[in-house]
Amino acid sequence: MIADVFRGIVTTSNVIAETPGGRDDRVVVVGAHLDSVPQGPGIQDNGSGSAAILEIALQMAELDIEPRNKVRFAWWGAEESGLVGSQFYVDNLSKREIKNIALNLNFDMIGSPNFVRFVYDGNGSDTPLAGPNGSKNIEQVFLDYFINQGLPTEPTAFDGRSDYGPFIAVGIPAGGLFTGAERIKTEDEVAIYGGTAGEQYDPCYHLACDTFDNISLEALDQMSDAVAHSVLTFAMTT
């Protein structure tokens, strides 16, 4: 296959779709970034997260699910250029619109080939950074789900590296999942999750080899189910 590729400065957009029904004062924003770095096609980073939330949106429509709370799906542009798309979105919200967002769910890289199941540490109990008030509840939804599935998880910090950053900066609770990027997998993690110690969670992170061959379908399947569970949980919560 030959790809026609342009590299340069262009205008890009966020792609946003929301459910027609549901309380618009309890909006659940579900996000994943749509772009990749110039060096690679970005099938894992972040085709994995973008595809997962697209499928959930399609299934909600197909199944005619009527959420109690409005669900807003967002595919952010220019994340790799410094969270440009999500920052622009949050910067242009009114105070009322910010208050009307109940939470932000963020899914950036959920199919790493040498994966660990990371959950954002909402209350800061295991990492130096906590999310805004309410983030603990989001974390607990993920933890309870994985416990019920018999799947171990690890905490990861709100370090501001993905599109939840602008949301937590204005006090919106956030949470999400992550399977690892450039950090090195340890022997202890291999004992729990399998894989290869001494190698990156994603050996093709920000490289040209981030193709379909760079995806763990096992991780993507497990994490996508957890994504769907969280979206429907918060879509329906009172």
Catalytic residues: 79
**What are the Cα distances from residue 180, in Å, to 41, 85, 146?**
18, 22, 17
In sequence order, what are the beta bridge partners of 103?
28
Rg (the chain; Cα; Å): 17
- For β-strands 101-107 and 154-156, DSSP reports them as unpaired
In DSSP notation, 46-88 reads THHHHHHHHHHHHHHHHTT---SEEEEEEEES-GGGTSHHHHH
Query: Pick from 188, 177, 175, 7: which is nearest to 103 by CA?
Result: 175
Cα 61–142–97 angle (5° rounding)? 60
